[in-house]
Amino acid sequence: MEFFEVIYGRRAVRQYKPDPVRREDILKILDAANYAPSGMNNQQWEFIVVSGKKKIQLGDSYAIIADGYTSSWDQPQRDEFIGYARTYGGAPVLIVVLTEASDIRGISKMNLESASAAMENLLLAARAMGLGTCWMTGPLQDEPNIRRILDIPDNKEIVALTPLGYPVSFPEALPRLDPELKEKVRWVE
Ligand SMILES: Cc1cc2nc3c(=O)[nH]c(=O)nc-3n(C[C@H](O)[C@H](O)[C@H](O)COP(=O)(O)O)c2cc1C
C-alpha cells in the first residue's frame, strides 16, 4: 500500500476473523515499531505478544471492566459489549506496549511519547499488511490484574494495548473535526 493510503485507511478495528497471524508477520510489525523515534534514542519501548491462555485471562479482565461501565445500558447491548470485551473482538493476538516508568515528569512524558510513536508505527505497519488493530487504554482500568497476569514489574509503565488480527472489515475513515485545518493550525511568521 502507498504510504498515505495506509494513513487514511487505518481504523480502530473491533471485529476480527479467527485466522491466526504468522509470527514472522508479528515480528515485521514490531520491527516497524522498533524503528520509531525516541527521546535520547533510548528506544524505551517493550512489547508483550499475548495469545492462548494469557489472552483468555486478559479478556476475562476486560470483561469485568466492561461489565462495570455498561451497567446503565440495555441488556442486549450490554451482553454484546461484554462478549466483545471478553474476546477482544475475536482477535487472535494482543500486543501490550510498555515503557520505562519514571517519577520525573519530563522523563515520564518523554518515555510515554516514545512508546506512543512506536505504537503508531505498529498500527500503521499492521494496516499496511492488511491487519487490524485498536489502540486501547480502557482495559488498563484493571492494571493491577494485567500486571499480575503478564508479570510486569513496577519499573515498567503500561502504555496501551492493541488486538491484532485480520479484520472483518476496515470501516471508512471517520470525519475530521476540522478537515480544512483552519482551527487546528496556526501559521506564524
Ligand atoms: C490513547 C487512546 C486510547 C484509546 N482507548 C481505546 C479503548 O480503550 N477502547 C477502544 O475501543 N478504543 C480506544 N481507542 C481508539 C479510539 O476510540 C479511536 O482511535 C477513535 O475513535 C478514532 O477512530 P479510528 O482510530 O478508527 O480513526 C483509543 C485511542 C487512543 C489514541
123 Rama sector, left if φ>0, alpha if ψ -120 to 50, beta otherwise: alpha
Digit-coded pLDDT (tens) for 29-40: 999 999 999 999
pTM over 0.95: yes
How far is it, in rounded angstroms, from Cα 12 to Cα 163? 10
How far is it, in rounded angstroms, from Cα 30 to Cα 119? 9
Digit-coded pLDDT (tens) for 83-132: 999 999 999 999 999 999 999 999 999 999 999 999 999 999 999 999 99
Digit-coded pLDDT (tens) for 142-182: 999 999 999 999 999 999 999 999 999 999 999 999 999 99
Residues with CB under 6 A from ligand 1: 11-12, 134-138, 174
Torsion sign across C-alpha atoms 110, 25, 126, 84:
negative
Q: What is the chain's mean pLDDT, rounded?
A: 97
Q: How far is the CA of 135 from the centre of ligand 1 (A)?
A: 5
Q: How far apart are the first and last CA of the chain?
A: 36
Q: Which residue, judged by its Cα, is nearest atom 17 of ligand 1?
A: 12
Place of cell 489472552: 55
Give the chain's domains with CATH numbers.
3-165 (3.40.109.10)
C-alpha cell at 107: 522523563
Q: How far is the CA of 180 from the centre of ligand 1 (A)?
A: 22
Digit-coded pLDDT (tens) for 53-80: 999 999 999 999 999 989 999 999 999 9
Q: How far is the CA of 20 from the centre of ligand 1 (A)?
A: 23
State what percent of residues in the chain have pLDDT above 90. 99
Q: Which residue, judged by its Cα, is nearest atom 19 of ligand 1?
A: 12
How far is it, in rounded angstroms, from Cα 126 to Cα 72? 35
